[in-house]
Structure 1
Amino acid sequence: MGGIPRTPLLLALAGLIPFVVSAMTLLNDSAYALMLDLLGGRFVGPYLQLSYGVMILGFMSGVLWGFATRAPAALAPYCYALSVIPALWGYLMAGGGPVSAGMNLVFGYLGLLALDWQFWRWGLAPAWWLRLRVPMTAAVVLCLMVGVVL
């Protein structure tokens, strides 16, 4: 992941931990039991995936909002409007059962990647942004798909 500053890279990788843990607890009964014993029911399987997934979509909306502050005046209203979409998507679409909520989060993260690309294309995101966001999105979608399929 050359060219990505060390601190954002390390924090992004640390941010993957709950997604990976949630997928592991769905794939492995021993991991499920261990996490259940250590941290409780909110930190296993779909509960962790869905709550953390919605929270991170909201966080990423804030990142896009920050990029919007750099937009030229004519583009800024569109950037601000686009920046709130991931948070609204997570809030409105991650209800229901774990399968539909998980699929909607997958769509939310893929949509977020499209917004990341657009903000990068407009020159509002750092030059290295997509080198970070593409593999991160792939990892998140893969982990969420474990919850959708199982």
Structure 2
Amino acid sequence: MRAAIPRLPLWLGLAGLLPFLVSAAAAWLAPTAWQVLAIRAFLGYGAVILSFLGGVQWGVAMCRERPGEDAFRVRMLLAMVPSLVAWPALLLHPLTGAWVLVAGFVLVRGHELSREGRARLPDWYQSLRTLLTLVVLACHALVIWRLGGA
């Protein structure tokens, strides 16, 4: 049985989806000039959130792992990967950048689901991250489709 997601992280996580939802919708529904801005905003926010997810792992390593142990080193090194994927995604063509962000979100989620990635995280975190990742990936699919890449 999965642990219930505490109310505050759930509400904050759902609130964090709003920029994805609004900018993905605007990429389709806004006037053409605003669609370009919406896509830029979407990709920028995606890069910020992907980097944030690396920061989560950095925080876990600092607070819950013992410096000098392999688990600490691995978690600290992997914590840097999301930002090193996210930033270059912003420099690419929007369609390519969106696909790079998708790959980053999938890789982070894969790590979180691994035995090493799950270690030291509360049980409810997995349920929350699954929900949030599915919505984020659906929004990316809409933007990729809008960009003509689906």
Q: Does 1:48 align with 2:38?
A: no
Which amino acid in the other structure matches residue 133 of structure 2?
T
Q: Normalising by the residue count of structure 2, what TM-score does the alignment of the two structures yield?
A: 0.84
Match of 1:71 in 2: 65
Match of 1:106 in 2: 102
Query: Shift in Å at residue 115 of structure 1?
Result: 2.1
Q: Does 1:140 align with 2:136?
A: yes
Matched residue of 1:3: which SS?
Answer: coil
Instruction: Give the conservation status (yes or no) of the 8 Å contact 1:106–1:141.
Output: yes
Instruction: Give the conservation status (yes or no) of the 8 Å contact 2:27–2:36.
Output: no
In 1, the alpha carbon distance for the partners of 2:23 and 2:144 equals: 12
In 1, the alpha carbon distance for the partners of 2:36 and 2:142 equals: 18
Deviation readout 1:2-61 (Å, 9 max, x if unpaired): 611111110000000010011111222xxx24xx5xxx974x2x1111110001111111
Gap runs ≥5 in structure 2: none
Which amino acid in the other structure matches residue 59 of structure 1?
F
In 1, the alpha carbon distance for the partners of 2:130 and 2:50 equals: 15
From 74, 83, 87, the counterpart of 1:87: 83
Instruction: Give the conservation status (yes or no) of the 8 Å contact 1:94–1:104.
Output: no
Instruction: Give the conservation status (yes or no) of the 8 Å contact 1:120–1:127.
Output: no
In 1, the alpha carbon distance for the partners of 2:90 and 2:75 equals: 24
Superposition pairs for residues 16-27 of structure 1, below 5 Å?
Answer: 16-27=17-28
Q: Does 1:3 align with 2:4?
A: yes
In 1, the alpha carbon distance for the partners of 2:54 and 2:117 equals: 14
Q: Normalising by the residue count of structure 1, what TM-score does the alignment of the two structures yield?
A: 0.84
Q: Does 1:61 align with 2:33?
A: no
- Alignment RMSD: 2.2
In 2, the alpha carbon distance for the partners of 1:88 and 1:97 equals: 17
In 2, the alpha carbon distance for the partners of 1:8 and 1:126 equals: 12
Deviation readout 1:81-112 (Å, 9 max, x if unpaired): 01111111101233211110001111111111
Deviation readout 1:109-143 (Å, 9 max, x if unpaired): 1111112223553x211111110001110100110
